[in-house]
Amino acid sequence: MLAGKHILVGVCGSIANYKAAELIRLFVKAGAEVKVIMTQDATTFITPLTLATLSKNPVLVEFVADKNGTWNNHVELGLWADVMIIAPCSANTLAKFANGLCDNLLTATYLSARCNVFFAPAMDLDMWQHPSTKRNLSSIQSFGNILIKPESGELASGLHGEGRLAEPQTIFEEISNYFKLSSDFANLNVLITAGPTYEAIDPVRFIGNHSSGKMGYAIAEEFANRGAIVTLISGPSSLSCTSKISITMVTTADEMFNETIRRSDNAEIIIMSAAVADYTPVTKSDLKIKKKDDRFAIEMKKTKDILLEVGQRKKSNQFVVGFALETNNALENARKKLIEKNCDMVVLNTLEDSGAGFTSKNDLEKNLATNKITILSKEGKVFEFPLKNKNEVAKDIVDRIKSER
């Protein structure tokens, strides 16, 4: 899987640097082209000469390469890489990544990189447990970077606990697996709706719902990581997505309908995870509605059902996934939706399960978005999953689509 791949290895100062040498050797043996960036501190633990010899490329440490003003271009390096792996990643560099600092070649390249970034931390157990490290960790994971967890055992300090750099073989397998998965949906067009819709009442008020969009965005990232060409139609959301995804922002159910249907013929996989308003005000006042009577009623009309339309137009090469958010008779209602909307699969979440469904803004900021889903297949199979982080739930959904398609 690694033959010809461009792997950029970042090495921070750590006693575990000897493992970086072994990791680089494994990548090169597997046929990858490897470039190494070291922080200044890393060079006190292992020499650039060692890593240059193993990687078969000069090791880069400084922005300026020599006294003649030749410089190491962090933007070019970031674009060159198919994947970037920071191993070992120190607490200091982790903090810099989390806050967008770029005071050395490694951190500047990280900021410029468009590829996926893996990071394998190594530090003493108290540093690893520190609330600031935990916060930094969840920040960089929320940017889409992938953690390769440290292991437990004896640490350089003599203490025992979590913080040891993962073994080179483990990191190597994670990266190989990433490349294997990244061809799963190669060049397939995937269309996803996400988030809420807002239906205007007047210029300052609307009817909306609590959807954050997180589930749909996580599915979009997962598909993009696995080689698909992803189009995301999103209702209002504070989330952002990587540049690999083509995103169109909409506000109303009607706009989401138009943008989705316009693109649906082209898509091989269609996933409707948006929480679309079922009703919209019949009229929208151009002026702010003034407070008058004790009671106030808004006349509403049904919106167009996007999933129903997509299901009715479905072609033989298309796989359509609906979502169902239920509060009661969950399985029965979800099955009904699957049949009525001509879906191939329905992802059910029920508010009867705590931690399932919508994510609060607070939990979103802390990267604590969770969901508990049940997947129903067209053939009547039911797959139940435990409560998980929404990024992991996205993996389960995409894996299931791969099996059912």
Q: Is 17 known to be catalytic?
A: no
> What 8-state DSSP symbol labels residue 46?
S
CB of residue 65 to ligand CTP, shortest distance in Å: 53
Binding of residue 214 to ligand CTP (CB under 6 A): no
**Bridge partners of residue 316, in order along the sequence:** none
Binding of residue 217 to ligand CTP (CB under 6 A): no
Measured from each CB, the residue nearest to ligand CTP is: 306
CB half-sphere exposure, 25, CA atoms < 13 A: 9
Stretch that binds ligand CTP, among 58-66, 115-123, 146-154, 274-282 (CB under 6 A): 274-282
Alpha carbons 150 and 139: distance in angstroms, whole number: 17
**Bridge partners of residue 189, in order along the sequence:** 229
Site string for ligand CTP, 122-161 (x = CB under 6 A): ----------------------------------------
Contact 119, 90 (CB under 8 A): no
Residue from 57, 73, 209, 258 carrying the catalytic annotation: 209
Contact 226, 311 (CB under 8 A): no
Binding of residue 305 to ligand CTP (CB under 6 A): yes
Phi and psi angles of residue 145, each rounded to the nearest 5 degrees, phi first: -75, 150
Binding of residue 219 to ligand CTP (CB under 6 A): no
Of the pair 301, 315, the CB lying nearest ligand CTP is at: 301
E-assigned strands of 195-318? 199-202, 205-207, 229-234, 246-249, 269-272, 279-281, 300-302
Angle 272-278-281 (CA atoms, 0-180°, nearest 5)? Answer: 135
What would you report as the CA-atom Rg of the chain, rounded to the nearest whole angstrom?
24
Binding of residue 276 to ligand CTP (CB under 6 A): yes
Binding of residue 306 to ligand CTP (CB under 6 A): yes
* 3-state SS, residue 32: coil
Residues 233-262 that bind ligand CTP (CB under 6 A): 253
Quick one: which of 163, 223, 179, 203 has its CA closest to 85? 179
E-assigned strands of 235-379? 246-249, 269-272, 279-281, 300-302, 319-326, 345-350, 370-371, 374-377
Of the pair 193, 231, the CB lying nearest ligand CTP is at: 193
Alpha carbons 369 and 221: distance in angstroms, whole number: 15
Stretch that binds ligand CTP, among 110-118, 144-152, 227-235, 316-324 (CB under 6 A): 316-324
Q: What is the DSSP string of 172-186?
A: HHHHHHHHHHTTTTT
Binding of residue 325 to ligand CTP (CB under 6 A): yes
Within the chain, what is the greatest distance between any pair of CA atoms?
81
Please identify which residue in 10, 323, 364, 374 interacts with ligand CTP, judged by CB under 6 A: 323
CB of residue 32 to ligand CTP, shortest distance in Å: 40
Stretch that binds ligand CTP, among 37-45, 271-279, 356-364, 392-400 (CB under 6 A): 271-279
Of the pair 96, 337, the CB lying nearest ligand CTP is at: 337
Stretch that binds ligand CTP, among 3-11, 94-102, 318-326, 382-390 (CB under 6 A): 318-326
CB of residue 195 to ligand CTP, shortest distance in Å: 10
Rounded to the nearest 10°, the torsion over CA 75, 76, 81, 87 is: -60
Site string for ligand CTP, 159-198 (x = CB under 6 A): ----------------------------------x-----
CB of residue 330 to ligand CTP, shortest distance in Å: 10
Given the rule CB under 6 A, which residues bind ligand CTP? 193, 253, 272, 274, 276, 278, 303, 305-307, 322-325, 337
Question: Which sequence positions are flagged as catalytic?
Answer: 209
